[in-house]
């Protein structure tokens, strides 16, 4: 509760594609605000632009937000006292309000054809006008005549923006913002097909759904004066608005999008890419909000307690994929081994023995940044398909005979090793390096290539211990044979 007001906030995605992380960030802020005020969170689907409707959007919103850990109280599937929650199912309401605005003298019927509008725009462009706008041709038609024509002729309903004066709002993020009315176009509110535009539907719905705080992306700030005129015409109170900074791409000042070069923007792609919802929530919350302290690792519950609208920044927050990866690593290390095993399930082959994977987690946890890396890091435990190409077994600048010699010594040292524990393995390989007069790194690389087949991977001594003595020795012998040249018995 904020004072005596019971908070009701909404997030209102347009179903035009897969759930985008910019949209999730806006949703998160509404979620934090609702939950910290014991308020109600509403999902409203803004599908008035039917040409851009994408049937994948709604399932993607539901799956994505559930995965993230956001729940809401009223919505298309949840129902609620103000349904339906899909704008295309509320057309009558908008049509009625558009008519009422015309009666109130705050809007008018416009009969201009698309061709005429195109000519007007072309003429304005030719004249060098900085923006094109409707020339208010139909505003001059007598009201009675227009009402009569509207019963027969195709038309839209336009907002009648006063010629003079200003209109403003005290924005929760931007402070006082004011617009000269002369700069505002006579916006279409109701289209000729009977669908409202966003500009009308958003005001009607926010009002009739009892929204107490409008928290939305700052791309809608320039539309706000139009909304304010609609509120004013109906004599409705304007709820506090907060325009949230956009999530910006890594280059330039543009919004994060595939078009601006971002590789990944859909929530589903992060999920499939091995990101934890905890990390995405944590990082996204910080894109546009500064907690005012050094702390930066927060659970969603901590965010609900700590996030404050007055700490939201005006300027857009830059999306930094590397920082997200860092958070993901932090959150991976915060999981228990049992939980990590569970999260890894979709990312490692189903035939891999879960007990083996679990035993290996301590050695990969430290270096994992995404869940997808586990498959590569642990592959050596699950395949005995070893390199048969001698060049893949050579450390840099080492020849086959000397590498073979080094591996033979390492194998002998390991074979003599009683415990086969990490310290014992380390001691054995250090002994081999001393005998050879090789740098430890070179011996270890030769052993790593022979035992794991790759030059990167989890810490070597632990990897060998996990593999077990028999398999490790067999792999070293195999490498020696490969390095000795073609084996006539095998060809």
The reply on whether position 435 binds ligand GLU by CB under 6 A is no
Q: Pick from 7, 9, 13, 369: which binds ligand GLU (CB under 6 A)?
A: 13
Question: Does residue 256 belong to the site contacting ligand GLU (CB under 6 A)?
Answer: no
* Nearer Cβ to ligand GLU (203/332): 203
Instruction: Report the site for ligand GLU in 336-355 (rule: CB under 6 A).
Output: none
- Find the part of the chain contacting ligand GLU (CB under 6 A) among 11-19, 100-108, 270-278, 286-294: 11-19
Rounded to the nearest whole angstrom, what is the least distance from the CB of residue 148 to ligand GLU in the complex? 35
Closest CB to ligand GLU among residues 14, 250: 14
Catalytic site residue 258? yes
| Beta-strand pair 8-11/40-43 | parallel
Q: Which is nearer to ligand GLU, 12 or 266 (CB)?
A: 12
Binding to ligand GLU in span 33-72, by CB under 6 A: 46
Give the nearer residue to ligand GLU in terms of CB position, either 54 or 339. 54
CB of 220 to ligand GLU, least distance (A): 5
Q: Which residue is nearest to ligand GLU (CB)?
A: 216
Nearer Cβ to ligand GLU (83/217): 217
Q: Rounded to the nearest 5°, which phi and psi values hold at 298?
A: -135, 140
**What's the longest Cα–Cα distance across the chain?**
104
Confirm if 462 and 420 have CB atoms less than 8 A apart.
Answer: no
Q: Rounded to an integer, what distance in angstroms lies between the CA atom of residue 34 and that of residue 75?
A: 15
Give the whole-angstrom CA distance, residue 419 versus residue 414.
10
Residue 90 binding ligand GLU, by CB under 6 A: no
Told to check if 267 binds ligand GLU by CB under 6 A, we report no
Residues near ligand GLU (CB under 6 A), total: 8
Smallest distance from ligand GLU to CB 14, Å: 4
- Which one, of 32, 93, 5, 50, lies nearest residue 285 by Cα? 32
Residue 216 binds ligand GLU, judged by CB under 6 A: yes
- Residue 75 touching ligand GLU (CB under 6 A): no
225 binds ligand GLU (CB under 6 A): no
Catalytic residue among 226, 258, 396, 439: 258
Q: Minimal distance in Å, beta carbon 293 to ligand GLU? A: 29
Q: Kindly state the smallest distance separating residue 96's Cβ from ligand GLU, in Å.
A: 21
Q: Does the footprint of ligand GLU cover residue 12 (CB under 6 A)?
A: yes
Nearer to ligand GLU, 217 or 362 (CB): 217
Of 67, 137, 220, 231, the one binding ligand GLU (CB under 6 A) is 220
Among 202, 262, 303, 473, binds ligand GLU (CB under 6 A): 202
Nearer CB in complex with ligand GLU: 72/327: 72
Residue (25 or 404) nearer to ligand GLU, CB: 25
- Which segment (51-59, 212-220, 294-302, 342-350) binds ligand GLU by CB under 6 A? 212-220
Residue 14 as a binder of ligand GLU (CB under 6 A): the answer is yes
Q: Pick the stretch among 7-15, 128-136, 321-329, 376-384 that binds ligand GLU (CB under 6 A).
A: 7-15
Give the binding site for ligand GLU (CB under 6 A): 12-14, 46, 202, 216-217, 220
Enumerate the active-site residues. Answer: 258
């Amino acid at each position: 509760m904020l004072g005596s007001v019971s908070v009701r906030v909404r997030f209102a995605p347009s179903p035009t594609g897969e759930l985008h992380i910019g949209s999730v960030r806006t949703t998160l802020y509404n979620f934090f605000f609702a939950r910290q005020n014991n308020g109600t969170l509403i999902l409203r689907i803004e599908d008035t632009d039917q040409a851009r409707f994408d049937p994948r959007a709604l399932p993607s919103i539901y799956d994505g937000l559930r995965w993230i850990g956001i729940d809401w109280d009223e919505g298309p599937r949840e129902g609620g006292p103000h349904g339906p929650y899909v704008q295309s199912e509320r057309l009558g309401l908008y049509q009625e309000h558009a008519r009422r605005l015309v009666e109130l003298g705050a809007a008018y019927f416009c009969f201009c054809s698309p061709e005429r509008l195109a000519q007007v725009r072309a003429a304005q462009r030719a004249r060098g006008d900085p923006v094109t706008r409707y020339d208010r041709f139909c505003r001059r038609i007598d009201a009675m005549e227009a009402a009569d024509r509207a019963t027969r002729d195709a038309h839209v309903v336009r907002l009648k923006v006063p010629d003079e004066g200003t209109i403003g709002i005290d924005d929760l993020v931007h402070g006082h913002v004011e617009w000269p009315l002369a700069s505002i176009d006579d916006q279409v509110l109701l289209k000729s097909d009977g669908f409202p535009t966003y500009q009308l539907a958003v005001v009607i719905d926010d009002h009739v759904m009892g929204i107490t705080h409008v928290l939305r992306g700052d791309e809608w700030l320039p539309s706000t004066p139009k909304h304010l005129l609609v509120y004013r015409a109906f004599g409705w109170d304007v709820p506090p608005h907060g325009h949230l900074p956009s999530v910006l791409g890594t280059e330039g000042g543009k919004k994060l999008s595939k078009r601006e070069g971002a590789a990944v923007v859909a929530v589903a792609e992060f999920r499939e890419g091995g990101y934890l919802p905890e990390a995405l929530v944590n990082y996204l919350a910080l894109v546009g909000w500064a907690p005012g302290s050094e702390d930066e690792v927060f659970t969603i519950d901590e965010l609900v307690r700590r996030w404050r609208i007055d700490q939201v920044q005006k300027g857009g927050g830059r999306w930094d994929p590397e920082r997200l990866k860092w958070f993901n690593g932090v959150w991976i290390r915060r999981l228990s081994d049992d939980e990590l095993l569970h999260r890894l399930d979709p990312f490692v082959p189903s035939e891999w023995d879960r007990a083996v994977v679990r035993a290996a987690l301590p050695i990969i946890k430290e270096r994992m940044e995404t869940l997808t890396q586990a498959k590569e890091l642990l592959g050596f435990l699950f395949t005995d398909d070893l390199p048969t190409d001698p060049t893949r077994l050579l450390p840099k600048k080492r020849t086959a005979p000397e590498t073979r010699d080094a591996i033979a010594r390492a194998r002998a040292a390991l074979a003599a090793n009683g415990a086969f524990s990490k310290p014992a393995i380390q001691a054995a390989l250090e002994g081999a390096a001393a005998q050879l007069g090789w740098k430890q790194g070179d011996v270890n690389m030769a052993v790593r290539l022979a035992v794991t087949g790759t030059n990167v991977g989890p810490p070597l001594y632990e990897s060998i211990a996990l593999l077990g003595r028999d398999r490790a020795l067999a792999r070293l012998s195999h490498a020696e044979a490969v390095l000795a040249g073609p084996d006539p018995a095998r060809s």
